[in-house]
Amino acid sequence: MWFGLAGPTGVPARRLPPFETGEWADALAGWWRSCPAPFVNDPDAGSRAGNKITSLEHAAEEGLTVPDTLVTNDPDQALAFCHAYGSAGVIAKSLNSHYVELDGRRHSLFTRVLSAADLALLPATLAAAPCVFQPLLDSRLELRVTVVDEQVFAASTATADLAAAGLAGSGDVRRVRRAVPMTAHCLDDDVAHRCVRLVAGLGLRYAALDLIVTPDGDHVFLDLNPRGGWWFAEQRAGLPISDAVAGLLS
């Protein structure tokens, strides 16, 4: 059984109070834990693996290079981290969902490169919730690596193509994939094996990973999504990922 996102149905379109939220969470968890069909992915494993701190730690344990990372809600720590990297720049991203509701409207809070205006807002806003800060790394390729059991499918977007389209430094290639070419990429065998071990070690059978390749050819792990989409990589880079996923469910 494919497990994507689960939430309550048949309830009013409003924010649920803590009691109702907890009751729905326990009801859904009890159902899938008692279901005899195997899940792709196991919901509990997917929840653990979806934590950015957990995935970064496991990636480092598997020998993948990970960026310097700060998770904090302390504005002073965040500003010191940003100033340490100076003109190189720093990106910020959420720990959990990238959706945020403002004035009754749902917005996507993608990874972003922090501007001077963003830094000025940190003292007044960051204390409310922790955020992930990482240096903006120089790259020549951005990779989407889809792992299906032991099969690895990699698609690349060239940083030069992003720059040509005026999109370099956008911080999150999900916002711009339609504007730039994406091609099948032959991933280094050692990196591919480490990605497979990372996914399996987290108790997953499927995951979408984001990496970059630096100008020196080093591969840097950025993120892992147990429910990440694969269709854009399949369609634009010609990768047979759907067949591999179907094999998990047959």
Which three-class secondary structure state does DSSP give residue 69? Answer: coil
Computed over every residue of the chain, the mean pLDDT equals: 87
pLDDT tens, position by position, 133-146: 999 999 999 999 99
Residue 213 DSSP label: E
Q: What mean pLDDT do residues 42-71 have?
A: 94
Q: Which DSSP helix (H) or strand (E) runs through 25?
A: helix 18-34
Q: Which comes out higher in pLDDT, residue 11 or 56?
A: 56
Contacts of 99 (CB under 8 A, 6+ apart): 106, 107, 108, 109
Residue 244 DSSP label: H
Burial class (CB in 10 A: 0-12, 13-18, 19+), 99: exposed
**What percent of the chain is modeled with pLDDT above 70?**
84
- First-to-last alpha carbon distance for the chain, in angstroms, is 9
Q: Which CATH superfamily is domain 47-66+138-249 in?
A: ATP-grasp fold, B domain (3.30.470.20)
Q: Which comes out higher in pLDDT, residue 153 or 13?
A: 153
Residue 96 DSSP label: S
| pLDDT recorded at residue 6 | 59
Cα(148)–Cα(78) distance, integer angstroms: 36
Q: Which residue has the tokens 């990699």?
A: 154
CA-based max dimension of the chain? 54
pLDDT tens, position by position, 182-200: 999 999 999 999 999 999 9
Model confidence at 170, pLDDT cuts 50, 70, 90, reads: very low
Cα(175)–Cα(155) distance, integer angstroms: 16
pLDDT tens, position by position, 99-129: 666 666 766 667 888 999 999 999 999 998 9
Buried b or exposed e, range 218-242, using 16+ CB within 10 angstroms: ebbbbbbbbebebeebbebbebebe
Amino acid 121 reads L
